[in-house]
Structure 1
């Protein structure tokens, strides 16, 4: 169905660029994950749609696997106008816009549908509207997914098993505080440096969505996987404001529309891959511990001081708005 929708979009758009104000351009689109997962699938589809809708005038060149730097480096490049486009988990932006910590609060979301309702509604737009003041333009919210924990030392069934493990986390204060609160030694590292850190035993483990664990081949250095699903990461697709302001209104509309058109496709790819990848990881030799809902509740309880600290950072009113929306959704199910 999605393929049909996208094909219809192509058919309707073909030839329109000739009548619109579209110039010959090349867009560098950088991201830290590999091409063979849901990030790459979304980026590739975006490039195809932009090429089609611009009648080949706008070419999107993909730079996967952190070839242009880690998340923090590419945000800086975006603000400086040396890269046109990036995508990343929203937690990396907390240093720029503190309210983005909202989506990283531990055990906040239970289902992808809850996330969609939050991101695609007024609350998600409210945060995206803050990006231009930081030299960034938000195009769409795609999906990274629910994060789970791996390590090379032992199975993790309960939060006490995390104590003493050296865990790589993303370069965001909430993740440091959360894993330190669980008794780990949290180490912030850019993703492009992570595989080597696991290989050399600089760190014992890491936490990422299942699809990324498989795509990045972390199973080669990690024996144990625990389905903690402790945080959900939206994937924020952004453009350089410095370059955006030089685009014509037709070009801006084309890029924004293409990113939104890809959104349901990219999310579906992510969720289909997530449903299959657990068996693949078992096939690679990983020992999988399915973490119970009761244990997730214990972890959430242990992390209450961290949740409260970052509720204050995001703003209690904003968090209250999201919690009210989630309560309403859960009440209607």
Structure 2
């Protein structure tokens, strides 16, 4: 065999080795999913986003990869929601309160003192009422997959302890960009200032605002104790987060891919709630250890606030629809009557 013929045979053998196996495409790349969130990587939100990413990669055998991007690097909730609607971003988790401008029924979760405990919140959010509210998102270009827990919200400020309703008078309090929060705190006497969460620490540090309200976990992970002295245990609102997907993008997925994301969202919901509650139990003592002055709002003052907010509740009922309001109250009545 001459040199030229040997060279051709070697080249042909090499080409055969490099050729793709039947049924396999060398061009297949994993589907990259950008999953945005507002808090930092070390927060309960960050840990749950990581758990979600791991579930998706495992269930898809690496064909789908979630890039969890925190610290509002993709923008505040409102900006990410618009990116999802336009199809420029795939997924996010954020507050239901910032969705009210898109889907008015989400305002039901902003009702002050709606839930007495986490058991009630889980049952209503994961039940028919929660599903009905979540499904309203689809007409607006979003798909809701699961509610996570932000938690019961509590007040902090740099001026004084809030021991009675009148102590809120004149306090510049940052609230979410949501009319129910604005109306509620204005009604209670605070000077309510709407601000994106991403601007909050700086606003507290520069005294642009005096205070804010968030669950213990967020107060701790965001280091608000560095710029806030007083913490009032008020539990005035139970605040959910919601995992949402761009409908424009979702509709292009296969049923199997949709199921992987839906199952992972529910698994991460269960993980996140356990993690949040475990962390919340110790976060309060950590905040005390870091120098925050903590007081509990007396039950009599919480009752006064409820009465004062009756008009706001009437506005919420009108906004979300009386049928949804009555259904939610009916579910809560059943839960409270159950032995």
Asked if Structure 1 and Structure 2 have the same fold, meaning a TM-score greater than 0.5 normalized by the shorter chain, the answer is yes
What is the rounded CA distance, in whole Å, between the counterparts of 1:197 and 1:122 in structure 2? 39
What is the rounded CA distance, in whole Å, between the counterparts of 2:300 and 2:53 in structure 1? 43
**Shift of residue 128 of structure 1?**
1.5
Mapping of residues 159-238 of structure 1, within 5 Å: 159-238=165-244
**Shift of residue 293 of structure 1?**
2.1
For structure 2, which runs of at least 5 residues remain unmatched after alignment? 1-23
In the alignment, does 2:303 pair up with 1:297? yes
Question: What is the match of residue 146 of structure 2?
Answer: 140
Mapping of residues 1-333 of structure 1, within 5 Å: 24-333=30-339
What is the rounded CA distance, in whole Å, between the counterparts of 1:294 and 1:325 in structure 2? 25
SS in structure 2 of the partner of residue 153 of structure 1: coil
What is the rounded CA distance, in whole Å, between the counterparts of 2:161 and 2:207 in structure 1? 17
What is the rounded CA distance, in whole Å, between the counterparts of 2:211 and 2:268 in structure 1? 33
Q: Report the aligned-residue RMSD.
A: 1.3
What is the rounded CA distance, in whole Å, between the counterparts of 1:321 and 1:258 in structure 2? 29
What is the rounded CA distance, in whole Å, between the counterparts of 1:87 and 1:106 in structure 2? 22
**Shift of residue 207 of structure 1?**
0.5
Output one character per residue of 1:88-138: Cα deviation in whole Å (capped at 9) or x when no partner.
111111111111100110001010110111011111111111111111011
Output one character per residue of 1:53-102: Cα deviation in whole Å (capped at 9) or x when no partner.
11112111111111111111110011111111011111111111111100
SS in structure 2 of the partner of residue 129 of structure 1: helix
Q: List, as ranges, runs of 4+ consecutive aligned residues in structure 1 with deviation greater than 3 Å.
A: none
What is the rounded CA distance, in whole Å, between the counterparts of 1:124 and 1:167 in structure 2? 29
**Shift of residue 23 of structure 1?**
6.5
For structure 1, which runs of at least 5 residues remain unmatched after alignment? 1-17
What is the rounded CA distance, in whole Å, between the counterparts of 1:76 and 1:43 in structure 2? 20
Output one character per residue of 1:199-238: Cα deviation in whole Å (capped at 9) or x when no partner.
1000000011110000000110000000111111111100
TM-score by length of 2: 0.90
What is the rounded CA distance, in whole Å, between the counterparts of 2:234 and 2:67 in structure 1? 35
Tell me how many residue pairs correspond in the alignment: 313
**Shift of residue 294 of structure 1?**
2.1
TM-score by length of 1: 0.92
Larger Rg: 2
What is the rounded CA distance, in whole Å, between the counterparts of 1:247 and 1:23 in structure 2? 15
Question: What is the match of residue 9 of structure 1?
Answer: none
